[in-house]
A and B are shown apart, each in its own frame.
Chain A
Amino acid sequence: MRVVGVDIGGTFTDLMLYDTETRAVHVHKVRSTPDDPGRAMIHGLVELCGNAGITPASLDGVFHGTTVATNAVLEHRGAEAGMLTTRGFRDIVHIGRHQRPQHYSIMQDIPWQARPFVKRRNRHVVTERIAPPAGEVLEPLNADEVRAAARALKRAGVESVAVCFLFSYLNPEHERRAAEILSEEIPGAFITSSSDIFPQFREFERFTTAIMNAFVGPATGRYLDRLAGALATEGVPGKLHVMMSNGGVASSETAARKPVTLLLSGPAAGVLGGSWAGETSGRKRLITFDVGGTSADIGIVTESGIAEASARDTEVAGYPLLVPMIDIHTIGAGGGSISYVDEGGAFRVGPRSAGASPGPAAYGHGGEEPTLTDANVVLGRIDPDRFLGGEMKLDRELATAAVQRLADALGLGLLETAEGIVTIANANMSGAIRSRTVQKGHDPRDFALVAFGGAGPMQAAEVAESLGIPEVIVPPYPGITSAMGLLTSDLKYDQMRTVFMTEGAIDVERIDREIGAAVDELRARLREDGVADGEIEVAAGLDCRYAGQGYELRVPLPDERFGQDVLEGFHRLHEQEYGHAFRDPIEVVNLRVTAFGKRPRVELPASGNGGEPLLGEGQSVFRRNGSLTSHPTRFWERSLLAVGATVEGAAVVFQRDSTTIVPPGWTARADASGSLILSR
């Protein structure tokens, strides 16, 4: 099979072609075309195939990470959308949880009030009411009111409508019927039902998810259609798959129906790529550490897979979002993070970033404030002539001048200040990793840190050191790990259902029946996507809590059936997560099933085919035993390191898409998997 991964970023579109039989890899990079991201993709794809000496028509699949839906939310550019909801509850999505996003601010805006996905004039109420616990119909749906509302929405020029009724997760009938009527009255409109997107309780969050889907739906659908059409023109029909926030890929048709599941498409691909690099190096417990110019994305992988976010904690651009997502923690710390003295006199680094333009002072594009990259240059840890394979020359004098200005303001020396910038940035990153590990009951010392992105491998060893993490893994192509991740992801679909059953009154038969039905449905969907039965894997679980609590923990059901060990498993999980178990009655809240269509593994050939890897020597500065000291430092070319070759720190390993810093006391080894493994 020949497959291509395409990751579209703000500046570059990265492409990677992999042949599962020959294990040949080709990578390519083209400038992104933000006005129509698909143009760069098709153009890059044709060039990539040309480089590889194949025709696009011989491709078996194209896997794509997209930011189209994400940007529509971030920039608030979406459809003129409408909403139907239960009479008496027109403003649930405006009132929210009545909490202000900031505690200490009079002048703040509330995202869903200042920038609503559906204007109040387009939110219509209809008579209907479903009630708990079993979804009983208290008031039947008034179909005439639905029809009248649909006509009003049509007159208002609405092209996308979300149907959001209370308790629809218990009984979706009213939402389904209303959706049918809407489709009849507004032909061609994009219709979303809240229970179809995610049948889980908490109306503000579920409704917001549904109207967000309505808001981004039409544009995302058009984009994916255009892309699929262009691929068909190149002879690659029906092969487009899109990365979802849950870390799986979906067919472009499925993705187009639920674009709200694509909002973390890009960062999820990164976590997948990091996870792949860790696994091929034989490591099971990983912290993925994807650091670019502006932000650092952190993900966690354990024996049970990539960590998913709790539905209570997921949000995008300040809006809550109830869809399965990889637990990706993003902080504003990257190579372009600006360091400064704030008005109270504190030394800060980030979250403000010099971004790609003007970029760090050393880029010479007019940046005057010192960034993390500038600090690394001043400390001699980046050779200005070899940054990004020498494609971009850095200006050491400009970097020094920028750091010196900050040093003067702080009353510190130049090197002290540069090292301080690195230390504070690393502390911010370590703090973010702690929040995903220590705070969740994981000991970081049992993990390896997988570092990628342009800046990840520069900071990784020191960040690892501060957390007691013994090992750092730098994947073969750190700068395009997301494109790699796209090639390694499985097809993945989720199903869930809220049930509310308390220990002592757990309807085991119903749980088993509903899970069985969900498994069957998901298997059928994967078969539609052409996945053979032998390649399908299923994982079932129950979201449980102590009766009365408000947050659930997920207990796996290894054989897709309820057993008494589930309850014991919950006590253990609670103890592990919070350091305390209550031994009170347990409530089952949600049933969950995930089905995977397994894809062939990607294995890269090892590199290091001759040539002298040592590029030269210099001096770099590190803090050791509390004091700043200068160390002789060797510079190496990564592509020329043979498998098994080791590099002693202090050293810097250069490659075209990233730079790896090996501090004194650390050793880097070229692993047979193609990754570079740093250890102390």
Chain B
Amino acid sequence: MSAPSSTRVDPVTASVIAGALESIAIEMGHKLARMSYSSIIRESEDFGCVICDGQARQLAESSQSTPLQSGPIPGYIRGINRRFGELGEEWKPGDVVIHNHAYYGASHGPDVAFVLPVFHRGELVAFSATTAHHLDLGALTPGSCGIVDAGDAYAEGLQFNAIKIEEEGRRNEWIWRFIRDNVRASALVVGDMEAQVAACRIGAERFEELIARYGIATIQGASEDLMDYSERLLRREIERLPDGSYEAEGFIDGFQDHPNPANRDLRVRVKVTVEGSRIHVDLTGTSPQIDLPLNMPFEGTVDIAVYLTIRSILLDSDLHGDIPANSGLFRPITITAPEGCLANPRYPAPVIARFCPGNIVADTVMRALAPLVPHNVSAGVGNLKVVAYSGLGEGGQHWVYMDIQEGSYGGRYGKDGLDAVDTLYANTRNNPIEDIESHYPLRVTRYELNVDNAGAGRWRGGLGTVREIEFLAPGGMSLEGDGSVFPPPGLFGGGDGTPGRVAINHRGENHVEAPSKFPYRAAGAGDRLLLVAPSGGGYGSPAERDPAGIREDIADGVLSPERGRELYGFEE
């Protein structure tokens, strides 16, 4: 037990303010989820709510939002500040800013931020901000995922670069009308945006109440202490690691059906250097940027994938309890990626489908760290797929539905991998089948575990799922996914997992295999899309697996006796 060398605020007040800040962010998240319209926010929880200080440093995030939405928010605000700087503009009381520019800190275009400044006696002291994934932003085809044929940033939909949608308390109806006129399913999209603004207002009001109660100087002191605290926790863990450099490689399917080989089998290379209480992550050696949207914004996607993976390993909340999620956690980590590579593209390279490559960055960082912390990592993780289903309803109104298929984790020390979950830097939820079929002309015809193909190991990989959806009326679909070519790698002698699959069935004909991403294509009533998620890699030699575990797997039908013999030499 040792006290920190110096704090600005007494530890009692610091503890009270830390709790108050977190409860503000949680209240924002609670209300945003309940007020919003589209299932991608209300059911999948693909949103983020954050309170930042006046320097755009995160003080607290809502616990129910997904990491890939909350994490980037400080970057969004820095991007707005950069844009304001270029324009000679500044924050004013009563402003509300909409922002989604991926080369100004945004994670990618569909994740739109709304930011409210909080002023105290003329000084900018805080930001109340939310991000959320929007169903449609007026890209070339319906939906905001699977726009995998976008040739540049302009094809990805509307770009908002630090736009004041309210200026000093005056609502700019023209911008709202402009949005309404340029997006599909506009009632849902605009309703979700209004919900975001309402949630930001709640955050700002609560922060003002906090100032009234404790005074701004005390809050600022407590905020600095809070960030120092989180930073100190992470540095302590890094100090325990041996200094040195550790490398790993991961692969992205890319566009398997594309004539240009430069768009296939893309590489992510990671070198993690540990030095004292610092970690540097270098992505040199990662494939050059391409003219299709698998490029990843350096700020907003790559940085978040790296930060969140390192903190999930070194400050695993299951082992360390909840750690205040603030910008202090990012201080011990630096990242570089050469300009012009997938992980640091030049404008206007398209980035909208950056989710899956980012997951490979996260998985590769984990693999590089694995030899240092073998008890805290998993073997290779199975990647995700996201589908935009859409169609025209009566009256010419679009319906758009985004369906996220989960992946799976690799085996871990002492435990098999998690089955059928969202992975690493994201944590969304699926939409209930009973909700999907009640609201869209779709029928889910299958959703269960994909058995008998987990990566073998002392602790086996997690199982992916099989999910099949049928169109009940004509419409269209587009897909962004990955993991159909490269299996999630095994670790420490464990077997590789199994790649996923995509197949399309036209009205009762046989399934036709399709790549892990395809742009919008029309679909008729009766057409079905079958998605198979990858299964995670194994951990440790299969020869060391406890026979009881093999027996249980066979009894539960997730391993066939034949595969049990083949992989483990198991005979009953």
Please give the residue numbers on chain A whose beta carbons come within 8 Å of chain B beta carbons, in ascending order: 88-92, 94-100, 102-110, 113, 119-121, 131-133, 166-167, 169, 201-204, 340-341, 343-348, 409-412, 419-420, 423-424, 427-428, 431, 434-435, 438-439, 500, 546, 548-551, 574, 577-580, 582, 584
Specify which of B35, B435, B446 lies most central, judged by the most chain A CB atoms within 10 Å of its CB. Answer: B35
Contacts of B449 in A (CB 8 A): 90-91, 94-95
By a CB distance below 8 angstroms, the chain B residues around A110 are 418, 421
* Nearest A-chain residue to B31, judged by Cβ: A578
Whether A113 contacts B191 by the Cβ 8 Å rule is no
Query: Which of B3, B26, B313, B419 meets A95, CB within 8 Å?
Result: B419
- What's the Cα separation between A104 and B423 when bound, in Å? 10
A438 to B27: give the CA distance in the assembly, Å.
9
Contact between B427 and A546, CB atoms less than 8 A apart: no
User: A346: which of B15, B43, B308, B413 is its contact (CB, 8 Å)?
Assistant: B15
Taking the closest CB of chain B, its distance from the CB of A444, in whole angstroms, is 13
In contact, A95 and B420 (Cβ under 8 angstroms):
yes
A64 CB to nearest chain B CB (Å):
35
Q: Are B30 and A411 in contact (CB under 8 A)?
A: no
The 3 closest A-B pairs by CB, nearest first: A550-B42, A345-B4, A347-B11
CB-CB < 8 A to B30: which residues of A?
Answer: 439
B548 within 8 A of A: no
Give the CA-CA distance A94 to B438 in the complex, in Å.
23
- Beyond contacts A96-B420, A201-B438, A341-B1: 17 other A-B pairs, Cβ-Cβ < 8 A, are A88-B445, A88-B446, A95-B447, A98-B430, A100-B422, A105-B317, A106-B316, A132-B437, A202-B434, A343-B233, A344-B230, A347-B12, A420-B11, A500-B438, A551-B33, A584-B187, A584-B191
Binary flags per residue of B493-517, CB closer than 8 Å to A gives 1, else 0: 0000000000000000000000000
Residues of B whose CB lies within 8 Å of any CB of A are 1-4, 7, 10-12, 14-16, 18-20, 23, 26-27, 30-31, 33-39, 42-43, 45, 63, 66-67, 187-188, 191, 194-195, 198, 201-202, 229-230, 232-233, 236, 308, 311-313, 315-319, 323, 325, 366, 376-378, 404, 406, 409, 412-413, 415, 418-422, 427-430, 432-435, 437-438, 443, 445-449, 465, 468, 555-558
Whether B437 lies near A131 (C-beta < 8 A) is: yes
B318 & A105 in contact (Cβ 8 Å cutoff): yes
Tell me, in angstroms, the Cα distance from A92 to B447 when the chains sit together: 7
Q: Which residues of A contact B229 (CB under 8 A)?
A: 344-346
- Give every chain A residue within 8 A of B67 (Cβ-Cβ): 103-104
Closest to B443 in A: A131
**With a CB–CB cut-off of 8 A, which chain B residues contact A582?**
35, 191, 194
**Contact (Cβ within 8 A) B19 A431:** yes
A438 and B445 CA atoms in complex are apart in Å by 43
B426 shortest CB reach to chain A, Å: 9
Q: A95-B406, A202-B434 are in contact. Are A104 and B421 (CB under 8 A)?
A: no
When distances are taken between beta carbons in the complex, the residues of chain B under 8 Å from A105 are 312, 316-319
A107 to B416 alpha-carbon distance, docked (Å): 10
Residues in B with CB closer than 8 Å to A439 are 23, 26-27, 30-31
Q: Are A423 and B376 in contact (CB under 8 A)?
A: no
Given the known interface contacts A202-B435, A549-B35, A551-B42, the answer about A107 and B376 at a Cβ–Cβ threshold of 8 Å is yes
**A90 to B316, Cβ gap below 8 A?**
no
Q: How far is the CA of A95 from the CA of B434 in the complex (A)?
A: 15
Minimum CB–CB distance from B299 to chain A (whole Å) comes to: 20
A103 touches B317 (CB 8 A): yes
**B15: A residues at CB distance < 8 A:** 346-348, 424, 427
A484 and B67 alpha carbons, distance in the complex (Å): 45
Between-chain CB contacts (< 8 Å), 24 pairs: A88-B447, A98-B404, A98-B422, A99-B422, A100-B427, A104-B67, A105-B318, A105-B319, A108-B418, A132-B438, A133-B438, A201-B434, A344-B232, A345-B7, A346-B229, A347-B12, A427-B16, A431-B19, A431-B23, A549-B37, A550-B435, A578-B34, A580-B194, A582-B194
Complex Cα distance A221/B2, Å?
52
Contact A120 B558 (CB under 8 A): yes
- Contact (Cβ within 8 A) A345 B556: no
**Is B232 in contact with A431, judged by CB distance below 8 angstroms?**
no
Partner of B3, one of A121, A411, A420: A411
Write out the residue numbers on chain A whose beta carbons fall within 8 Å of the beta carbon of B313: 106
| Chain A residue contacts of B1, Cβ below 8 A | 340-341, 409
Q: How far is the CB of B234 from chain A (nearest CB, A)?
A: 9
Q: Are B434 and A548 in contact (CB under 8 A)?
A: no
Q: What residues of A have a CB within 8 angstroms of the CB of B422 in the complex?
A: 98-100
Chain A contacts for B438, CB-based, 8 A:
132-133, 201, 500
In the complex, the chain A residue whose C-beta lies closest to that of B41 is A550
Among A132, A346, A434, max chain B CB count under 10 A is at: A346
Q: With contacts A106-B378, A106-B412, A410-B11 known, is A113 near B418, CB below 8 A?
A: yes
| B188 to chain A: closest residue by CB | A548
Q: State which of A99, A103, A409 has its C-beta within 8 Å of the C-beta of B429.
A: A99
Find chain A residues with CB under 8 A from B63 CB: 103
Given A120-B556, A341-B3, are A95 and B12 neighbors across the interface (CB < 8 Å)?
Answer: no
Q: How far is the CB of A157 from chain B (nearest CB, A)?
A: 13
Chain A residues positioned under 8 Å from B37 (CB to CB): 546, 548-549
CB-based nearest A residue for B410:
A106
Q: How far is the CA of A345 from the CA of B36 in the complex (A)?
A: 39
Closest CB of chain A to B379's CB: distance in Å?
A: 11
Given known A-B contacts A439-B30, A579-B201, A582-B194, A98 and B421 have beta carbons under 8 A apart? yes
CB of A99 within 8 A of CB of B421, answer yes
Contact of B27 among A95, A120, A435, A546 (CB under 8 A): A435
Shortest C-beta distance, B303 to chain A (Å), equals 16
> Max chain A CB contacts within 10 Å: which of B39, B319, B421, B465?
B421
A58 to chain B, nearest CB (A): 51
The one of A89, A345, A412 that contacts B2, using a Cβ cutoff of 8 Å = A345
Is A203 within 8 A of B434, CB to CB?
A: yes
CA distance A420 to B9 in the complex (A): 13
Contacts of A346 in B (CB 8 A): 11, 14-15, 18, 229
**Separation in Å of the A581 CB from the closest CB of chain B?**
10
Chain A residues near B308: list those with CB within 8 A.
104
Interface centre among A120, A344, A427, A548 (most CB of B within 10 A): A344
CA distance A579 to B45 in the complex (A): 21
- A231 → chain B, closest Cβ, in Å? 42
Per the bound structure, the CA–CA distance linking A204 and B318 in Å amounts to 24
In contact, B420 and A98 (Cβ under 8 angstroms): yes
Quick check: B12 and A423 within 8 Å, CB to CB? yes
> Which of B23, B43, B427 is in CB contact (< 8 Å) with A435?
B23
Choose among A88, A91, A201 the residue that contacts B432 (Cβ–Cβ < 8 A).
A201
Residues of B within 8 A of A341 (CB): 1-3
Which of B10, B11, B19, B429 sits near A97, CB closer than 8 Å?
B429
Q: How far is the CA of A201 from the CA of B437 in the complex (A)?
A: 11
Q: Report B557 CB to chain A, min CB distance, Å.
A: 6
Closest to A550 in B: B42
Judge whether A202 and B432 touch: CB under 8 Å: yes
The smallest beta-carbon distance between A582 and chain B, in angstroms, is: 6
Residues on the B chain within 8 Å of A412, using CB: 10-11
**Measured between alpha carbons, how far is A119 from B188 in the docked complex, in Å?**
40
Given A88, A113, A132, A427, which contacts B419 in the complex, CB threshold below 8 Å? A113
Chain B residue numbers with a CB within 8 Å of A92 are 447-448
